[in-house]
Structure formats: structure tokens, C-alpha cells
């Protein structure tokens, strides 16, 4: 079967290679679920708008988190620091207790992973199916930052940014 990417002239392996060269931040989306909690690693976090304060991330169609993220649902966004590649991998692993051996606390009734670069408490606004992913847009209600260095994902590996001289 010929995929959409192949019809567009890019074989799927070439497209995957191309996308792997786009560096991304690494974040864990968390929700409280009854007495438990759920979290998933994403590399698709984007800032969308200042007024109103909107961010977005994309989840694949078979994501276990997606069915929970209806409009109005509260969620946490944990932007990971450069020492947290183990956390990123844990929250991308199936069939384990992802919060076990993760240092986290509860904030605004949401699970917050300790020692991240930034923490956002958001409320889901909208969901837009786009190809094989669903874009989830969310309004920022609370946020906190740290002075830690972010974790980056690039060419299928984790990296720490090299600071360069400020442009301004
Ligand atoms: C660095 C990194 C970035 C990822 N980005 C995404 C993403 O943006 N969207 C997504 O759906 N899965 C992404 N994943 C994969 C999910 O974390 C992984 O498939 C996870 O097991 C999904 O959990 P779930 O099945 O409980 O939803 C990423 C994984 C890693 C390691």
C-alpha cells in the first residue's frame, strides 16, 4: 500500500529521518485520574498564543491519554530539564507504573514532576484531528519556571543545549 507521504514523493523512512532532524523540547503531559494519575512524554509542545494564553501538543491516534483530554479537562505540562532523559523514557514506556521511581508532587490537584524547567497547569480548549495525530490546544492557568537547562530531543537522541552568547 502506498502511504500519503510516499504519494507526496517522500518514502516514510526519509520522512522519519527528516522529522528526526527537527529539534524539540521534551515534556510530560500529566492528569489526575480518579485515585491514580497518568502521564505521557511528548515532543510536540508548542506555544500558540499570548492573548489568550494557549499552548498545544499532538497525541497519536492510539494514545491512551487522548480519551481523557476532553474540553475543560485540567492537565499539567512538565517541561523536562537536561538531567531528566530517564523520566522522558519512563513516560514513553508501556505497561509500567510511570510515576514509580519518579519524583513528583501534587499541585493544583495535578501531578507535577519535580525538577523540570517549567510547569504549566492548563485546561483543554479544543482537539483537532490532523492526520495520524490529534492536536490538543489548552489554555494556561498557572505557570512556574526554574533556572535549569532544558532537555532537547534531536536525531533520536537526548541533548543538552550549548549556551551561546546572547543576541541582545
Ligand atoms: C522524546 C519523545 C517524544 C515523544 N513525543 C510524542 C508526541 O508528541 N506525541 C505522542 O503521541 N507520543 C509521543 N511520544 C511517544 C509516547 O510517549 C509513547 O508512545 C507513550 O508510550 C504513549 O503512552 P500512552 O500509550 O499511554 O498514551 C514521544 C516519545 C519520546 C521518547
Where do the structural domains in the chain lie, given as residue ranges?
23-146
Q: What CATH superfamily is the domain 23-146?
A: Electron Transport, Fmn-binding Protein; Chain A (2.30.110.10)
| pLDDT confidence of residue 69 | 97
10 Cβ inside 6 Å of ligand 1: no
Query: With contact defined as beta carbons under 8 Å apart, do 11 and 4 qualify?
Result: no
pLDDT of residue 3: 60
pLDDT means over runs of 10, the chain (168 residues): 64 94 98 92 98 98 96 98 98 95 96 98 98 97 97 98 78
What is the pLDDT, as a whole number, of residue 166? 74
**What's the pLDDT score for residue 137?**
98
Give the length of the chain.
168
Say what the pLDDT of residue 34 is.
Answer: 85
pTM for this entry: 0.94
Q: Is the CB of 41 under 6 A from ligand 1?
A: yes
Cell 485520574 belongs to which residue? 33
- Which pLDDT belongs to residue 151? 98
How far is the first Cα of the chain from the last one, in angstroms, to the nearest whole number?
Answer: 51
Ligand 1 centre to CA of 65 (Å) is 10
Q: What angle do CA 82, 62, 127 make, to 5 degrees?
A: 80
- What one-character-per-residue DSSP string does 88-140 give? HHHTT-TTS-TTTT--EEEETTEEEETT-SEEEEEEEEEEEEETTEEEEEEEE
Amino acid at each position: 500500500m502506498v502511504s500519503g507521504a510516499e504519494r507526496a514523493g517522500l518514502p516514510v523512512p526519509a520522512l522519519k529521518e527528516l522529522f528526526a532532524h527537527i529539534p524539540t523540547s521534551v515534556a510530560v503531559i500529566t492528569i489526575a485520574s480518579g485515585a491514580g494519575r497518568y502521564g505521557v512524554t511528548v515532543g510536540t509542545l508548542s506555544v500558540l498564543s499570548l492573548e489568550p494564553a494557549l499552548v498545544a501538543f499532538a497525541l497519536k491516534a492510539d494514545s491512551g491519554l487522548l480519551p481523557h483530554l476532553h474540553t475543560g479537562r485540567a492537565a499539567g505540562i512538565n517541561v523536562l530539564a537536561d538531567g531528566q532523559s530517564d523520566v522522558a523514557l519512563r513516560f514513553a514506556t508501556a505497561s509500567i507504573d510511570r510515576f514509580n521511581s519518579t519524583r513528583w508532587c501534587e499541585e493544583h490537584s495535578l501531578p507535577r514532576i519535580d525538577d523540570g524547567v517549567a510547569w504549566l497547569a492548563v485546561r483543554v480548549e479544543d482537539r483537532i484531528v490532523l492526520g495520524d495525530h490529534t492536536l490538543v490546544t489548552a489554555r494556561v492557568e498557572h505557570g512556574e519556571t526554574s533556572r535549569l537547562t532544558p532537555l532537547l530531543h534531536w536525531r533520536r537522541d537526548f541533548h543538552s543545549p550549548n549556551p551561546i552568547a546572547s543576541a541582545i
